[in-house]
Amino acid sequence: MSNNENKPDLRLLPLGGLGNIGKNMMLIEIDDQILIIDVGLMFPTSDMLGIDVVLPDTDYLYDRFDDVTAVILSHGHEDHIGALPFLMEQGLNAPVYATALTRGLLEGKLSEHKLLDKAKLNTVTADNELLQLGPFGIEFFHTNHSFPDSVGVSIMTSLGRIIHTSDYRLDDTPADGKPTDLAKLEKWGNEGVLLMTADSTNAEQTTATKSEKIVEESIEEVFRNAEGRILIATFASNVGRVQQIIDVARRQGRRVGVIGRSMVNNVKVGIRLGYLDITQDELLSTGEMESLSPSEVVVIATGSQGEPTSAMVRMSVGNHRQITLNESDTVILSASPIPGNEEFFNRTLDNLFRLGVDVVYHELAEVHVSGHGGRADYAKMLETVKPQYFVPAHGEYRHLVLHGRLAQEVGMPKENVFVIEDGQPIDFNQSGNGVTAKRGDLYQSRDVMVDGLGVGDIGNVVLRDRRLLGQNGFIVCVVVFDEIDGDIIYGPEIISRGFVYMRDNDDMIRDAEKLVRKAVKKRASTRVRSGKVKDALLDFCQKEMGRRPMVLPVVLEV
């Protein structure tokens, strides 16, 4: 037993990514020293209107940024690094450890936030020697994921070893040729692992995720059959896929160009850091993409999710400044829609088909595979690491439950599997020869929403108003009374947006104004008259239109 029951020997606290997809962030705390693994953001769900991005709730760290020993980043996806600039703006300035490409993309973000000079960045490799950071002995292991040089983390502590896989899959023939380092994990597993936290994203998936090699072969097959130009959209951060496309293009006698801001940027970083085997000079200019013989051209573009302002979407609606698609072009969408993006993705497909382009996508050919493993991979990981305790991470709640059940199926005792969500700490204490674990007191875990320059100022009231306004629009009704004789000296004037098309509804608006005039005829306080205006208009809208706009009376006395 620990001396102080409220202060465990070791605390694991997930602040994001457990019970939601995105904003991954995990805290490990020993002796008031905090290690942070990943600081990701989440993209808003459909009910978070007008929100740019969502951050983890870091109130737990309020006034404690100085206690943070280090930040470890597993890979450079937004949902693992995207919130770091925001946390730095709030005061976090611990040293950051990441592999080269992750660091490279992070530098771009920090630079946009004008934080690059201040940040303490360190480059590590998957086979880095042990980094002793306070009470945390950090090592890494190579993983396969849709981001090159992704790593999982091992944290040796006085209570035992903790393994966090972060996002991963098993692939014998990955894009970079280096499979997830199971040998290292097996060694650690045999030595004994106190706790594992692991990716649960595909916990519903019973089939194996196919190899990246299959994707390369499928893409090459499309290349072989295409006579005209080839345009291919993929995630800008999937530098491994980009290299595969470059390789295929070379084999098939084509040259490659890139379009779309983040694709151009990431390819630049990838070349600079040696992740991409191509030089900047070899890349086609946008002029060459149009002027070269179509059979020699491959264009790699952003927009694999149908993102409205991306290069591929602009092309699909004939609205791209440099490139105009035609019937002899072949378009490959080398991605599948992330949950929530289906409508945009499908709309882009339909628009491409309308242009008569030959479109190849995941439903028709194996031109994409997930960067996450399936249940077989998860079982293999559990069997290799053999942790004493297990916390499923990275997933919606159902994924965590299913991953937790899987752990039991491979032999873990139920009481050693903690299916928890953001804000729920697990407290570990040395106890005789062993270590006990139990749920600690729950912390709050809000979605911290970013809208423009505001971080966390938007809450349910504003969101509810946005939802109502979006559904029904609003009416403002201005009436000005003379404060001496009580007569109307201006109005009633109705201003409305998002309710009816004003131009076509002049008569109706006049009727409503008449009604308001009648409702406020009797002398009364401004407050009472405001209520009358509101009631009259709501009633009118309901009866005449069957609608309930937001009604704001502006009743004045001057």
CA angle 377, 246, 329 (to 5 degrees): 105
547: contact with a second copy by CB under 8 A: yes
Residue 494 gets which letter from DSSP?
A: E
Torsion of CA 268, 243, 223, 207, to 10 degrees: -130
109: contact with a second copy by CB under 8 A: no
Closer Cβ to a second copy, 126 or 468, answer by number? 468
Least Å distance, CB 398 to a second copy, is 5
Both tokens of residue 368?
């994409």
Which of 32, 112, 277, 343 lies at the binding interface for a second copy (CB under 8 A)?
Answer: 343
Query: Would you call 19 helix, strand, or coil by DSSP?
Result: coil
E runs forming strands in 61-177 = 68-72, 96-98, 121-123, 131-133, 136-142, 151-157, 160-164
What is the footprint of a second copy within residues 110-129 (CB under 8 A)? none
Both tokens of residue 504?
């076509």
Closer Cβ to a second copy, 264 or 554, answer by number? 554
Tell me how far apart the terminal alpha carbons of the chain are, to the nearest angstrom.
73
Is the Cβ–Cβ distance between 324 and 299 less than 8 Å? no
Which of 120, 187, 224, 354 lies at the binding interface for a second copy (CB under 8 A)?
Answer: 354
452: contact with a second copy by CB under 8 A: yes
527: contact with a second copy by CB under 8 A: no
Which of 453, 484, 487, 507 lies at the binding interface for a second copy (CB under 8 A)?
Answer: 453
401: contact with a second copy by CB under 8 A: yes
Is the Cβ–Cβ distance between 168 and 373 less than 8 Å? yes
Rg of the chain taking only CA atoms, in angstroms: 29
* 142 catalytic residue (yes or no): no
Task: Give the active site residue among 320, 372, 394, 403.
Answer: 372
Q: Which residue has the tokens 């997830």?
A: 180
Query: What are residue 360's phi and psi, to 5 degrees?
Result: -120, 125
Least Å distance, CB 72 to a second copy, is 28
Query: What are residue 438's phi and psi, to 5 degrees?
Result: -150, 160
Least Å distance, CB 47 to a second copy, is 8
Least Å distance, CB 458 to a second copy, is 7
325: contact with a second copy by CB under 8 A: no
500: contact with a second copy by CB under 8 A: yes
Q: How many other CB atoms are found less than 10 A from the CB of residue 403? A: 28
Both tokens of residue 515?
């009604």
* 372 catalytic residue (yes or no): yes
Closer Cβ to a second copy, 183 or 545, answer by number? 545
72: contact with a second copy by CB under 8 A: no
Mask: binding to a second copy, 454-493, rule CB under 8 A, as x and -? x--xxx-xx--xxxxxxxxxx-x-x-x--------xx---
Q: Which stretch binds a second copy (CB under 8 A): 28-36, 276-284, 428-436, 540-548?
A: 540-548
The maximal CA–CA distance of the chain, rounded, in angstroms, is: 91
Spatial distance between the Cα atoms of 53 and 50, rounded to a whole number of angstroms: 9
Both tokens of residue 418?
């903690």
207: contact with a second copy by CB under 8 A: no
Query: Would you call 424 helix, strand, or coil by DSSP?
Result: coil
Q: Which stretch binds a second copy (CB under 8 A): 73-81, 235-243, 326-334, 390-398?
A: 390-398
Which parts of this chain interact with a second copy (CB under 8 A)? 19, 45-46, 49-50, 204, 339-340, 342-343, 346, 349-350, 353-354, 359, 363-364, 396-398, 401-402, 451-454, 457-459, 461-462, 465-474, 476, 478, 480, 489-490, 495, 497-501, 504-505, 544-547, 550, 552, 554, 556, 558
Q: Which residues are catalytic?
A: 199, 372
